[in-house]
Amino acid sequence: MDFYGTWCPACIDLMPVLVDLYARYRGQGLEILSIAFEPLDDPKLVAKQVERLKKSYGIAWKSSIRDVDQRSTILKDLENAEGFPITLFVDRNGMVRGMHSGFVSAAIGDDHKKLLEKFETLTKQILETGDGE
C-alpha cells in the first residue's frame, strides 16, 4: 500500500520505484494499492491530477482518493509514520511485514541505494509468504 499526495515531492520521487517493482513482480502476484490524500475542495480537479500522475508514470494499479484531512484518522495506528509517502508491505495473509515513511531521493546516494534494497527485500518477503504461513 502506498499512501501519497500529488502535492508531495517525495511521493512523486517514489513513484518510479513502485512502477519498477510492479513491472518486475506483478507476474509473481504483487499488487499495489495507492491512496492519495488530497484537498477535496475541487474533487474533479483532484481526480484529474491523480489521473495525470498515473498516466505520467505509467501507473497501472488501483488508486483511491481520500480527503487530506483524514490522514491523521486513517494513519493514527501506524507507529513511526513521520512523513509522506508511507509504504506498507502487506503479505498474502494480510500481515504487515514492513513499513517505510518518507523517501530518500537518488541525490542522497548511498541512503537511496539502501532504501531501494529495503524495498526489494520487503517485496520479495511478502511474495514468498504463501497461504496459511
| Helix runs in the chain, H state only | 9-25, 43-57, 71-75, 110-128
Residue with C-alpha cell 507476474? Answer: 27
pLDDT at residue 84, rounded to an integer? 83
Name the β-bridge partners of 36.
4, 65
Question: Given the C-alpha cell 486513517, which residue does it identify?
Answer: 74
pTM of the model: 0.87
Domains of the chain, residue spans: 2-128
Q: Does domain 2-128 have CATH number 3.40.30.10?
A: yes
Distance of alpha carbon 58 from alpha carbon 123, whole angstroms: 20
What pLDDT does 50 receive?
Answer: 95
Model pLDDT, residue 4: 93
Q: Any residues with CB less than 8 A from the CB of 99 and at least 6 apart, and which?
A: 78, 80, 81, 86, 87, 88, 89
Comparing C-alpha atoms, which of 81, 105, 74 is closest to residue 12?
A: 105
Local confidence pLDDT in tens for the 133 residues of the chain: 999 999 999 999 999 999 999 999 999 999 999 999 999 889 999 999 999 999 999 999 999 999 888 777 666 666 666 778 999 999 999 998 998 888 988 888 899 999 999 999 999 999 997 654 4
**In angstroms, what CA-CA distances link 26 with 43, 66, 126?**
30, 25, 12
Distance CA 4, CA 12 (A): 8
